[in-house]
Chains A and B, each alone.
Chain A
Amino acid sequence: MTSRITKWPGVELGRKEIETGKVTSVRYRPDAKFAWSAGEAMSRFLAELQEGRMIARTCNGCERVLFPPRMFCEECFRPTDAWVYVRDTGTIETYSISYLDTDARRITEPILVGVVSVDGASPKMGVMHYFGEMTKDEVRIGMRVKAKWKPREERVGSVLDIEYFRPLREGEG
């Protein structure tokens, strides 16, 4: 490889050469807008979030409580069977302390984000969400947490109807 090829193709550019127009380039900004129908399972899920509840689907094939809910079980490949409420408490399965925002821009106040497995669903089944009312030094895997719901009038049927998950207090859950 190295011995037979002496010149490797490719001309490197710096950021400046693009930005200052030193290199010929063509620009375009796409204008794409979408409206997703939420579908059977997610429509009910979002409606329940607006009511301050979380809901799952049961599968009689594998006897799992599937959360987030879906109308078919991907393992048994059959329709799921019934709606069942799960609790708004759970356990932190993993997390990150992010100093990057959504566009990879640096931020100084870190975002605490992770996966919560939800009580009442089958083991390890949960959602990604933010964590609050805890510091970056307090958050840990295995921590018991509870949803912090937005006030009823501010809920719109979105995962953001939960502001974040906060530490479970003594006597709760």
Chain B
Amino acid sequence: MRKVAVVGAGMTLFRRRLQETGKELSFEAARMALDQAGIEINEVDAVIHGTAPDAFDGVHMKGEYLADGSGGARKRYMRVFTGGGTGVFSAIAGWWHVASGLADVALVVNEEKMSSCQPHPQSVFAYIWDPILDRPLKPNLVWIFAMEMNRYMTVHKIPYEDIARVAVKNKRNAVGHPCAQLADANITLDDVVNSEMMAWPVRRLDISPPSDGAAAVVLASEDVVRKRKMKEHAAWIKGVGWCIDSTMWTDRDLYFPEYVARAANMAYRQAKIDDPRKQIDFAEPYDPFDYKELHHLEGLGLADKGKAGLMTREGVTERDGDFPVCPSGGLMGVGNPIAATLGIKIGELYWQLTGQSGKRQIPNEVRTGVCQAWGDLMQFGSVMVMGT
């Protein structure tokens, strides 16, 4: 397999509602990524589009609908969709296009426009549930997170405050992000602990907001990086992994994301990482809810089971801590336009590793980072390791 680098990234603002259409947002992010890479659209061999449920936009075959906006016209083009896992998985699909030699340059564009669905995208989340077993109970999406969080907290006896601290950290980190929707420099633990109860144990400030937005990255082969002298602004993809667990989610113990551990092991093997806590410098795990950052750190093998909360409490995961986690501000702070979280997972790894993160730059030198996304019915994990 050939070596593959990220050579440019772009994203739009993340906001509850944006005026631009999905196509227009895709174009803006893709154009920025190409400009940053110094690549023209006619040099792009393949375009991969990532976007989540069609029902948000009310347009089926969303991949085809958005193709023009992502630069896919008259090119090798595909849409990938693994729920929230798309945020990292579309870049994995881009990687295999280039690693295999089928493309020298691939453009990966993710878009989400959740505001189109009225009055709230929650109503179409109902359609992700099993129609026979689950849907008659009229489940709300927050329920499953609440049930998973409760199981995780109870099995490990984790105090709620240890989870709420993640929300504080990430919303504060997001202050340095120019696209952030929910940055808050002054948020305190009390704000989170006293915020409105949604579905116990989940409070309002434990949840990332629905957002509109788009993000894109340009991937290039080692030959292209050398010929075009892109080494200065290239970050290399060292390992990729993904895994889906059974749809029968009521048959699994939700306290640990086994599928994330399997995806991480695949990525670590490829990246020649056998001691992730020593060999990885920072992480961008998927954090649509604050407990998910902790849950995923454990799945990624970056914390012992039940101990990720301690890392947060002790400040280890702060941007200037020993092991920064979600230096972007994460989904909790920057926003959660599902697939477009590419910009704060893959994008943040790229910007951090190439020293382009500005106010968010991790003060310690970082050489290796891992990012992860999570999706479908609490069952899918996608992982990418990147390095300098």
Contacts and interface: CB of A to CB of B under 8 A. Distances in A.
- Co-assembled chains A and B: yes
Interface of A: 1-5, 8-15, 17-18, 23, 28, 30, 34, 36, 38, 42, 46, 66-68, 70, 74, 93-104, 110, 113-115, 124-130, 136, 141, 158-160
B388 interface: no
Contact of A160 (B137, B250, B252): B137
A102 B125 CA distance: 9
Question: Which interface residue of B142, B199, B212, B359 has the most chain A CB atoms within 10 A?
Answer: B199
Contacts of B311: none
Given A74-B248, A95-B150, A125-B251, 9 more contacts: A9-B20, A9-B32, A15-B17, A67-B251, A102-B126, A115-B254, A141-B151, A160-B136, A160-B137
B100 interface: no
A141 B252 contact: no
Interface in B98-139: 115, 120, 122-123, 126, 131-134, 136-139
Contacts of A115: 147, 250, 254
Chain A to chain B: the 9 pairs with minimum beta-carbon distance, closest first: A2-B358, A10-B13, A96-B146, A9-B28, A97-B200, A104-B122, A98-B199, A102-B138, A94-B151
Contacts of B122: 103-104
B359 A2 contact: yes
Nearest to B121: A104
22 contacts: A1-B357, A2-B359, A4-B356, A10-B25, A10-B212, A12-B17, A34-B131, A93-B253, A96-B199, A98-B146, A99-B196, A99-B198, A100-B142, A100-B198, A102-B126, A115-B147, A115-B254, A125-B248, A125-B251, A128-B133, A128-B134, A128-B137
Interface string B142-172: 1100111011001000000000000000000
A114 B356 contact: no
B270 interface: no
A68 B246 CA distance: 13
B251 A98 contact: no
Contact of B178 (A5, A66, A74): A5
B124 to A, nearest CB: 10
A118 to B, nearest CB: 10
A141 B359 CA distance: 44
A98 B143 contact: yes
Contacts of B29: 9
B73 interface: no
